[in-house]
Structure 1
């Protein structure tokens, strides 16, 4: 009988996974182009210059693809939320002591929260 084993990590969301696969494919093509440029340079053939130019362009595209994975992941986390709980080191919020009058209630304050000169 088939039984599913629990996985250590949850599966990545589809948009993040798609951008990660795209980034891996672009990076692998870039590495292949770099290998062709290196072997062409070692053999002294005409393909060296075009392969080197393509490798430089592909490196920029691969960097962009990796950034796309990071941005897609951040956007996914922002839109769909991440379930988190405070760690054991998190402290509970402190209650402010004193009456509202002691804390400055009723005082006239300026736009930055500073006390306005000449007013109480």
Structure 2
């Protein structure tokens, strides 16, 4: 019957008919799981048996193309990622310029000298960009509490937050104690 087969639509009225495409045997073979290669009924066990079984059931089970897995590492912070992208672009441009300078030198072109000069400047800029990634990462870690060293400003911020929480809890306990006593201890009532 070719690549298309006619079947009735699953609607109430049997008069409407639709056209569906039937998967090729190779597609069905790839889509079938490794454990289900042979059918239990003892029929041919090949792609044709599964194909007729899939067509009779109305649909064929396919495996997804990929399975999403959770990330192993956390995403880089935005400033660090921006610096890294900038560094990668500058390094790529530097490598292209170095290659063009080499080819121009081998071809004895007049463009060799300007390309060598520009590739030297680009090398300095790419080194600066790579250092910028490192510095940006260190600054972000220092400010957001990832590094736990005595000189870390994040440690001082955490200490201040802990003291504020302690003061808030002690104020709440004092208010609860006053309420339990029925207002005793207050100089005036609001």
Normalization by structure 1: what TM-score? 0.65
Q: Does 1:11 align with 2:75?
A: yes
Larger RCO (alpha carbons 8 Å, 6+ apart): 1
Q: TM-score, normalised by structure 2?
A: 0.42
User: Hey, which of these two has a bigger chunk of strand by percent?
Assistant: 2
SS in 2 for 1:70: helix
Q: 1:56 aligns with which of 100, 120, 126?
A: 120
Counterpart selection for 1:67 from 131, 153, 162: 131
- Pick from 93, 106, 117 the counterpart of residue 29 of structure 1: 93
Change (3 A) 1:8 1:25: same
Partner SS for 2:138? helix
Unaligned 5+ segments in structure 2 are 1-63, 149-190
Calculate the aligned-residue CA RMSD, in Å.
1.9
- Count of paired positions: 84
User: 5+ residue gaps in structure 1?
Assistant: 85-120
